[in-house]
Amino acid sequence: MPEMNLRSDKRDDESHLRVLKVDGYYLPPFVKEEHFRSMKTWKARNDDVIISAYPKAGTHWLWEVVSMLIQKKAERIPEIKETAMIEGLTEEKFHSLATPRVINTHVYFQHLPKDLFAKRCKIVYILRNPKDIAVSYYNHHKKLLMYEFDGPWDNYFQRFMQGNVDYGSWFDYTLEMERFIEKNPDYPIHVMYYEDLKENGTKEITKLAAFLEIDVGDDFVRSVNSLCQFDKMQQEKNKNETASMWRDKIHGMYRKGEVGDWKNWFTVAQNEMFDSIYQQKMANTKSKLRFSL
């Protein structure tokens, strides 16, 4: 099925969300179905690195960090991470990316090229607490014109909890990732947390470099961490985004980057509902999420 509109409330025409639906799986409207369907057969390279995350979990941030580490240059990456976002690429563009490729994605692993796993390409997986993700995703959907979304937060909260957004349910995504890790204990995957990276960037970047088998010194790590602070990313990386994509032509990809902003949005009732559903769905989770610092 091609592009469609999702509604969180059939009585509220302003809360529709434009997405692409492929075999029941929701994707952002910039994805092309024929490319998405063909991805499984694309060829990997042994030194490919995959950054995997649910949307709004810090992918832009981590892609910048990993790219600097891979290139061994504490310099701003001129490209934006969408240039290496696999579900948004053609096969030709994917294969034209310079080696080593730092690929990023929000899709389930079952949709990715099988060759990535056959070659045991390294995966960096970052999690962020879902309350902050919900707020960030709401602003993302509201500000990016391609989604045609202009609904209120109250309706969006229900939509997020039901998984009626592109890439589906945060709960399903996170549990699926846990199942992959559990079933593949020897696979080279490095798990990171947005909150840890925010709290102690140099420590987390040092561990990441070790996982990537990149020998860099403390000064280099500190330089990368400094360059990748939110305010610098917001100021410098937004220059590469097209203003016409955004509501009122105001860039929105780098909004706040805070931990705990959800407290400014969630009502008491919403927080109680979220906690109840979280405890039910994530009862056996091994993820160590923090909702504040």
Nearest to 261 by CA among 218, 221, 292: 292
Q: Cα-atom radius of gyration of the chain, to the nearest Å?
A: 19
Question: Are residues 44 and 113 in contact, defined by beta-carbon separation less than 8 angstroms?
Answer: yes
Pull the structure tokens for residue 210: 């070790």
Distances (CA, A) of 163 to 86, 109, 145: 22, 18, 20
- The alpha carbon dihedral of 53, 59, 65, 71 has a sign of positive
Catalytic pick among 35, 60, 106, 141: 106
Strand pairing category for 102-105 and 49-52: parallel
Instruction: Confirm whether 106 is a catalytic residue.
Output: yes
- Which residues participate in catalysis according to the annotation? 106
